Amino acid sequence: MAQTIFAVIVGILIFDYLVSRALDYLDDSRWSPTLPELLKGIYSEEKYKKAQEYDKENSRFGLITGTFSFIVMLLMLFFDGFAYADELVRIYTNNSIYMAILFFGALTLASSIINAPFGWYSTFVIEEKFGFNKTTLKTYLLDMVKGALLGALIGGGLLSLIVWFYDTLGDNFWVYTWLAVSGFSIFMAMFYTSFIVPIFNKLTPLPDGELRDEIEKYASTQNFDLKNIFVIDGSKRSTKANAYFSGLGSKKSIVLYDTLIENQTKEELVAILAHEVGHYKKKHTQVSIVLSVFQTGITFYIMSLLLGNKELSMALGIEETSFHIGILVFGMLYSPISMVLGIGMNILSRKNEYEADDFAKTTYKAEALESALKKLSVDNLSNLTPHPLNVFLGYSHPTLLQRLENLKK
């Protein structure tokens, strides 16, 4: 049985790797040497060529990093790397909570060190080459340190709580784990902008002026109580622009990147805001949270049925069962199910994006949203003609051309 589980894990890894490479190839094959007719008026010849170079460079880099990660994982499996890490952990402690923290902490640290050169190259070579990078080395290193500390604090805390549930509550541990993780997720959905974002970025209230007046005027026409409008200093890291909605109830807020404000007109910015208001009015955020909580419960229930199985540990060459090895193997085996669920969530997400666009079209100006979306895509050198299979499997948003077509209906 252990050998079968091992073979399935290897098969899943190979399948994931081949699918990723195939999707990259399909996307690359969609590029044309000349500007396609349907993109005229959106991309110039020069910008289209630059977008093509940017996409292909990222694709080549993805091939290198993906192949490297694939090989490392195979080496860890075939040469008992996880068993060796488990042995090292057991030298220092036999406490299940400490073992889990040390085991996953060591793997995370090793992964971070191994992948650090790739992260540096992506930021300071590729993004720099195409004019996106604004990150200084100091900011980059501080982000790494802050991310590691935050991950250790939050991840370590949640992991400790889950292991404690597992050790003390028996078969029903998954219910308490589900409630704890879901509660934390809802908390983060409400307070992410207030607590996490300021650790990495500076948030300032949108100053009084024409833009704020226009935004508040639109919000009032939709009976949308919006007091928290923030500007984030995204330009300290990249020239790429974005905007997002976060929070629930009285904690809801709109965050606009300073790069977005710099490059978009007042009407375009209000149209983007109208799209985000549409998500809230259509209850997309609430529905996504409910579905996420439900999905989390199913995941933990399935996990509870498998964790005590000794065959899971033996599949990695480890004789003694433990929570940290069980959850590691479960995560590998659950990958295909997670992919299928992800496809379903992406289908829902793309539907939500169309609905939010329709809301902005109905309550504000379709032309302003069209113009804003075009600018965002061109400024970010987005691939406007990805392969339909890649869109179906991995895109949370429709393509720009699909959204423009929908706005013209």
State if pTM tops 0.85. yes
Q: Is the pLDDT of residue 343 over 90?
A: yes
The answer to whether 202 and 232 are in contact (CB under 8 A) is yes
**Is 41 inside any structural domain?**
yes
- CA-to-CA dists, residue 239 to 269, 362, 371, angstroms: 17, 31, 19
- Residue range of the domain that includes 146: 2-199+282-407
**Number of domains, the chain:** 1
Rounded Cα gap, residues 58 and 360, in angstroms: 33
Instruction: Tell which phi-psi region holds residue 43, choosing left (phi > 0), alpha (psi between -120 and 50) or beta.
Output: beta
**Is 393 inside any structural domain?**
yes
Active site residues: 276, 357
**Is 63 inside any structural domain?**
yes
Q: Is the pLDDT of residue 247 over 80?
A: no
Rounded Cα gap, residues 131 and 110, in angstroms: 31
Rounded Cα gap, residues 293 and 179, in angstroms: 9
The answer to whether 395 and 350 are in contact (CB under 8 A) is yes
The rounded percent of the chain whose pLDDT value lies above 90 is 69
**Is 337 inside any structural domain?**
yes
**Is 350 inside any structural domain?**
yes
Task: Look up residue 280 and give its two tokens.
Answer: 């809230």
**Is 71 inside any structural domain?**
yes
For 46-56, what is each residue's pLDDT tens digit?
888 999 999 99
**Is 145 inside any structural domain?**
yes
**Is 292 inside any structural domain?**
yes
What would the mean pLDDT of 333-356 be, rounded to a whole number? Answer: 93
